[in-house]
Structure 1
Amino acid sequence: MVQHDRIIGEFMELVQVDSETKHEEAIAEVLKKKFADLGLHVQEDDSKEKTGHGAGNLICTLPAKGKGVDAPKLLFTCHMDTVTPGKGIKPELGVDGYIRSDGTTILGSDDKAGLAVLLEGIRVLQEQGTEHPQLQFVITAGEESGLNGSRAMDPKWLDADFGYALDSSGEIGGIAVAAPSQQKIFITFYGKSAHAGVNPEDGVSAITVASRAVSKMTLGRIDKETTANIGSFSGGIVGATNIVCDKVMLEAEARSLDTEKLNKQVASMQKACEDAAAEMGATCEFRSHLLYPSFKFTDEAPVVQLAKRAITRVGLDPLTFHSGGGSDANVFNGHGVPTVNLAVGYEYIHTKKEQIKAEDIVKLATVFVALVEEVGKETR
């Protein structure tokens, strides 16, 4: 049985370990010891050499027990890093049952609530003597920096039939069965410098060209499956209003659940840039690459059905939904492990108002145990 005080105490402990993204070394050491003390085989991959982050990904394996050797292998994943400001977090449990920081930092329930759930869930399985399949826990670094850890991870590490990320917003019982792919876009416009007061007609303003290009783009919500956004616009020299700007750089993205729609959106953004540059006598460089793939499951998919049975079993209502953001689940689906993202219950993440109900952490741990027990009933 999940122990309320134990799991909440562990959550409080975890959020007080500084782990802002790119600085995961301290939390990685804490987690290595915790998983090893529970009897799991713990390894760290070499991804930090590629990402420059403070740690690699942790791959922690609990061998199958009893009849579980014949059941499908499960993957569970959370990330160890947080966004900023995440140093010196002081968690507080309010009389309303919510855990919050003192207001000077984030809380870090994204994703340390998930980590606390996994650790407590393993303890409960062991205390109950539950027969279970092989359980693989992949704890990633650099998720908050663009899924850097999982994207740099060699797929050879993965050994599972189904996967569950514990890293989605929403009420406990929610299952993100779809999430979009993201195309990262870098655009550079080259104009021609000139004196803005003496001979502006000899110049070509890259700022004007870029502005015209953006005005030609369809951005924001394209349709129910597709979005696009210009994230940054930079160029010129601060204070140098007397110079016609000759270089502007834009960073942008496009997302979609549908690959054809994504490609069409990116192509239209590129055409807008090339047309604007040609019209005004400038040039542009347009580079894009796929950051991570999309995934989409029906409610009848085995990975979804298993989660729904577990959620129902503990007295909660399963709810499937489509997410607008990416997670490590996208990457692991791309590597061939069917993975959905379970709601953790955190609220106002990435802000100093972040909060989570203590009871929701307990509820998710009961879902985890039920899920493992459910898959133990199956044979491959």
Structure 2
Amino acid sequence: MTGLTHEEQALIAPIERTPIEARTLDWAGVNSGTANLDGLATMARKLGDAFAQLPGEISLVEPTEVEKVDSEGKPQAQPHGRHLVLSVRPEAARRVILTGHMDTVYAREHPFQTCDWLDSDTLHGPGTADMKGGLALMLEGLLAYEKAQPTLGYDVMINADEETGSLSSNALIARLAKDKLFALTYEPALPDGSMARARPGSGNYAVVIHGRSAHAGRNPEDGRNAILAASDLALRLAAGRRDGLSVNPARIEGGGPNNTVPDLAILHFNLRPRTPELAEAAEALVEAAIDDVSRLHDVAIHVHGGVSRPPKPISNRTDALYGVVSKAASDLGQAMSWKDTGGVCDGNNIAATGVPVLDTMGVLGGAIHSPDEFMLASSLAPRAQLTALVLHRIDRKGLPA
């Protein structure tokens, strides 16, 4: 390691892999799929006990109500777990926010439930990279930072619904991010140390189409076929793809017996605009396509959903934050590179508040959202050191203009 002061060397010296690895194994052993409320409650208790080592007040925040369209086209309330918030030095003049999520993509009944070592460094297990390893190293970095006479205040927000779009925590994220100096989010980096720069936005939609039923042989002309309307809408939306805007019609529900003109269909689709301008273009595309299909097929269409993750462009302030992190990583001897990504996360929502955010501060790993998910355990301590050093340097020197 080069470029570290004696104070900085003392700051990171106590950080070791063993306690971070033990926490990761413990937490990855709890199934906390977004819909598993019991598992999420267990994770919240474990996280609360662990983060109680830090000064400040811990609270569990009730989720905002979220509705989801069912197979009959009716919106139904969806239960969610509570979100954990730790507030440290709320009176500080300069405050930051660190975020992560306790939920995973693996449902209670998913076969991928346990961890095993592929080799001495590669831990294969559900949520190890995304992001229980990240939460474990975030805590270790904060514990080290707290020993160096810190002055920055901070909030830690760990939500229970990131994997499904943070719909029940978006308002909480926006409230906590407001007026913060910067944000760090603990999504995993790639195994080679690659970090995410710009991200597209993301919107999930459920479009409910009501037609008119009729006998398919006796009087089909009196019917209004909702399946045909949904198919037409899907094709029109897909035709709107362009550079920087992906549109993915994913599923059509509905229909009925072969001898009946179907009067109900639900089209589910996702769109991902690269820029705020393309997000506006995407909204116009959806509106125009729905207007045309409604008129041509004489059906009623109701739209549910929208762009819940705004595009995350890179501002000058974000570049300044990236510069501090890059220099810290270099001084720690850690490989780091940057690339734009097609994925989305809570960093999108934080960036939408105008706060600079680096959202891949977690463990190095890969194959996330699959039964092959893994993390590199050798990155746990170095990435915790990176957290401590970044916070310490910005505390002492501020964020460059």
Q: Under TM normalisation by the shorter chain, which class is it? A: 0.7 to 0.9
1:276 Cα deviation from its structure 2 partner: 3.5
Query: What residue in structure 2 maps to residue 20 of structure 1?
Result: 33
Query: What residue in structure 2 maps to residue 367 of structure 1?
Result: 386
Contact kept? 2:184, 2:361, Cα under 8 Å = no
Of 262, 269, 278, which residue of structure 1 is paired with 2:295?
Answer: 278
Does residue 10 (structure 1) correspond to residue 27 (structure 2)? The answer is no
Q: What is the correspondence of 1:1-380 to structure 2 with a 5 Å cutoff?
A: 1=13, 2-22=15-35, 23=37, 24-47=40-63, 52-55=79-82, 57-63=83-89, 72-85=94-107, 89-101=113-125, 106-126=126-146, 129=148, 131=150, 133-153=152-172, 155-158=174-177, 160-171=180-191, 173-218=193-238, 222-223=242-243, 225-237=244-256, 240-286=257-303, 289-298=306-315, 301-342=319-360, 344=362, 345-379=364-398
Which one is further off, 35-44 or 272-281?
272-281
One-letter amino acid matched to 2:87: T
The 1:26–1:318 alpha-carbon spacing in structure 2 relative to 1, beyond 3 Å, is same
The 1:191–1:143 alpha-carbon spacing in structure 2 relative to 1, beyond 3 Å, is same
1:14 Cα deviation from its structure 2 partner: 1.2
For residues 118 and 371 of structure 1, the distance between their equivalents in structure 2, rounded to whole angstroms, comes to: 12
Residue by residue over 1:79-135, the C-alpha shift from the partner in whole angstroms, topping out at 9 and shown as x without a partner, is 11111235783212232521013xxxx344311011111122123335x64645223
For residues 8 and 86 of structure 1, the distance between their equivalents in structure 2, rounded to whole angstroms, comes to: 23
The 1:353–1:221 alpha-carbon spacing in structure 2 relative to 1, beyond 3 Å, is farther
The 1:325–1:379 alpha-carbon spacing in structure 2 relative to 1, beyond 3 Å, is closer
How many residue pairs get matched? 366
For residues 311 and 112 of structure 1, the distance between their equivalents in structure 2, rounded to whole angstroms, comes to: 22
Structure 2 stretches lacking a partner, 5+ long: 1-12, 67-77
Which SS does the other structure have where 1:112 is aligned?
helix
State the TM-score, normalized to the length of structure 1.
0.85
One-letter amino acid matched to 1:317: A
1:35 Cα deviation from its structure 2 partner: 1.0
For residues 281 and 48 of structure 1, the distance between their equivalents in structure 2, rounded to whole angstroms, comes to: 36
1:328 Cα deviation from its structure 2 partner: 1.3
Which SS does the other structure have where 1:153 is aligned?
helix
State the TM-score, normalized to the length of structure 2.
0.81
- Give % identity: 23
The 1:114–1:279 alpha-carbon spacing in structure 2 relative to 1, beyond 3 Å, is same
For residues 276 and 118 of structure 1, the distance between their equivalents in structure 2, rounded to whole angstroms, comes to: 49
Which one is further off, 20-29 or 336-345?
336-345
Residue by residue over 1:43-98, the C-alpha shift from the partner in whole angstroms, topping out at 9 and shown as x without a partner, is 2223366773222x22223449xxxx78x533211111111235783212232521
For residues 163 and 356 of structure 2, the distance between their equivalents in structure 1, rounded to whole angstroms, comes to: 22
For residues 361 and 193 of structure 1, the distance between their equivalents in structure 2, rounded to whole angstroms, comes to: 59
Contact kept? 1:311, 1:317, Cα under 8 Å = yes
Structure 1 stretches lacking a partner, 5+ long: none
One-letter amino acid matched to 2:17: H
The 1:292–1:95 alpha-carbon spacing in structure 2 relative to 1, beyond 3 Å, is closer
Which SS does the other structure have where 2:50 is aligned?
helix
Contact kept? 2:245, 2:274, Cα under 8 Å = yes
Contact kept? 1:15, 1:109, Cα under 8 Å = no
One-letter amino acid matched to 1:93: W
1:187 Cα deviation from its structure 2 partner: 2.1
One-letter amino acid matched to 1:16: G
Which SS does the other structure have where 2:46 is aligned?
helix
